[in-house]
Amino acid sequence: MRVLVRRPRGGLAGTIRVPGDKSVSHRAGLLGALAAGPTEISGFLESEDCLNTLGTLGALGVEVTRKGPGEYRVEGAGLQGLQEPDDVLDCGNSGTTARLLLGVLAGQPFWSVLTGDDSLRRRPMGRVTQPLAQMGATVVGRSDGSRLPLAIRGARPLKALRYRSPVPSAQVKSAILLAGLFADGEVSVEEPVPSRDHTERMLRGFGARVTADGRSVTLASGGELRGHAIQVPGDISSAAFFLVAAALVPGSAVTIPGVGVNPTRTGLLDVLGEMGADLRVTDGREGEEPSGTLTAGTSRLRGARVGGALIPRLIDELPVLAVAATAAEGVTEVADAAELRVKESDRIATLGAELAKLGARVEEHPAFELAGPVGLSICCFRFVPPDLPEGSGREAYLSVLNERLMAEMQVDGRVFLSNAVLGDRFVLRVCVVNFRTEAQDMDAVLEVAEELGSKIDGELRPEDLR
């Protein structure tokens, strides 16, 4: 790999923007589709996962128009307006698309078939299909209806449900709440510890009656959703990589405005603060989703113990927390994180394998543990240039590169990005993976790298990849 994006000698310094929040983007598309009237979305995350959600909505007869980068208009079909898809709905790699969509489809009087990529077809869906079946939906599919591909036929109306979820999962909670829009009575979900509450907040914004009480949330039956404008905040899960990078790279000061700081998502900020990170949230703005400016600088970190109710608040940031732990003095212990085993990969295993390549050891009990600080070696990856037909654009080239990259690493995006933070050329690796999962726009991400003071030696060309 010969595209050299070098870490600046003086550290990472500057102001950057991160792409829109993934969870909020999915929900904006889905609820916009079910509303009466149009929903204008800005800051939508144009990643494969969120575009898959829009694609499936298109297949269900919803008109979605891209008006500009991250700007979409969804013509709401109303609660009764979705149409039977004439082909299989492909959710790609996106668990959020599959599970939330199952909730919506449970209330549709027609058959739909859902599938996904290799990773998604391995992930558990029974946690969603079981409660939906209790509400009256018919689901058949692999592993007794608990693995994709799945076929679902909805019922109208669905039955009311009081559900006690065995796992703290916003996807399970959201699927049931979305199905609740089609129920003839109240639905409520109780979780072992609260998970992210974007669905509840957005449902209220669309006019639904939702109440929350500690670990329980209830949706009243009846009523319509009304389309409205949604501004998606920056994704704290993307900001997390830069916050940890700033803490680890000497001489750094990074500012990230417009990041979502919903308290159900800010667990990493709490833990990094406890570890001694120089981290601030300023310019707080209230709204359907609160946001603020995050600032991080080089820090001396110490180990921390993480578990319990904190886990769902930083579930997607645990890989990058493990990276922070390699630089921290003392042991960092993460308990109650079994959910990591059923993400895009078994993230505890892949973290162990990937960090081992760099010289760090992750001990696995049921909890995982890392003793720092660890002197890490820099890991280099080699890529064979893909054979593309002559005249293929840079975009096609990069997308093949990314496929290879993911295959080669055998990890999922978040673990890879976390390791990327460690490398001397971490920004390059952030760029490459961000291209696939976050920005879909290599130039924009390279600009971010430059804003942070990185030096970029030239354009990405096929010959650079030898």
Q: Summarize as ranges the residues that interact with ligand S3P (CB under 6 A).
A: 23, 96, 169-171, 174, 195-196, 315-316, 339
Joined tokens for residue 255: 């500012």
Q: Which is nearer to ligand S3P, 245 or 315 (CB)?
A: 315
To ligand S3P, the closest distance from the beta carbon of 39 in angstroms equals: 18
To ligand S3P, the closest distance from the beta carbon of 124 in angstroms equals: 9
CB 333 within 8 A of CB 362: no
CB 141 within 8 A of CB 148: yes
Using CA atoms, how far apart are residues 254 and 151, in angstroms rounded to an integer? 47
Q: Which is nearer to ligand S3P, 23 or 332 (CB)?
A: 23
Local structure of 217: helix, strand or coil: strand
Going by C-alpha positions, the residue among 84, 148, 144, 80 that lies closest to residue 120 is 148
Joined tokens for residue 111: 């058959």
To ligand S3P, the closest distance from the beta carbon of 446 in angstroms equals: 26
Q: Which is nearer to ligand S3P, 171 or 291 (CB)?
A: 171
To ligand S3P, the closest distance from the beta carbon of 37 in angstroms equals: 24
To ligand S3P, the closest distance from the beta carbon of 200 in angstroms equals: 11
**Strand spans (E) along 278-381:** 278-285, 291-297, 305-306, 330-334, 362-364, 368-372
- What is the maximum span of the chain, computed from C-alpha positions, in angstroms? 63
Whether 49 sits among the annotated catalytic residues: the reply is no
Q: Which is nearer to ligand S3P, 339 or 447 (CB)?
A: 339
Joined tokens for residue 401: 């590169």
Out of 21, 197, 316, 412, which one is annotated catalytic?
316
Long-range pairs for 248-251: beta carbons < 8 A, 24 or more residues apart = 248/298, 248/323, 248/324, 248/327, 248/421, 248/422, 249/7, 249/11, 249/12, 249/298, 249/426, 250/11, 250/298, 251/9, 251/10, 251/11, 251/13, 251/298
Give residues with Cβ within 8 angstroms of 283, minimum separation 6: 257, 292, 293
To ligand S3P, the closest distance from the beta carbon of 158 in angstroms equals: 21
To ligand S3P, the closest distance from the beta carbon of 26 in angstroms equals: 6
Q: Which is nearer to ligand S3P, 237 or 252 (CB)?
A: 237
Closest residue to ligand S3P: CB criterion: 23
CA 103 to chain centre: 19
Q: CA dist 274 to 225, 302, 420, Å?
A: 41, 8, 23
**Strand spans (E) along 269-392:** 278-285, 291-297, 305-306, 330-334, 362-364, 368-372
Helix (H) or strand (E) segment spanning residue 112: strand 111-115
The letter for the amino acid at 458 is: G
To ligand S3P, the closest distance from the beta carbon of 95 in angstroms equals: 6
Burial of 367 (0-12, 13-18, 19+ CB in 10 A): middle
Q: Which is nearer to ligand S3P, 12 or 100 (CB)?
A: 100
Using CA atoms, how far apart are residues 321 and 317, in angstroms rounded to an integer? 6
Q: Which is nearer to ligand S3P, 278 or 339 (CB)?
A: 339
Burial of 299 (0-12, 13-18, 19+ CB in 10 A): buried
Q: Which is nearer to ligand S3P, 114 or 428 (CB)?
A: 114
To ligand S3P, the closest distance from the beta carbon of 315 in angstroms equals: 5
Q: Which is nearer to ligand S3P, 21 or 442 (CB)?
A: 21
Local structure of 95: helix, strand or coil: helix
Using CA atoms, how far apart are residues 163 and 176, in angstroms rounded to an integer? 9
- Catalytic site residues? 316
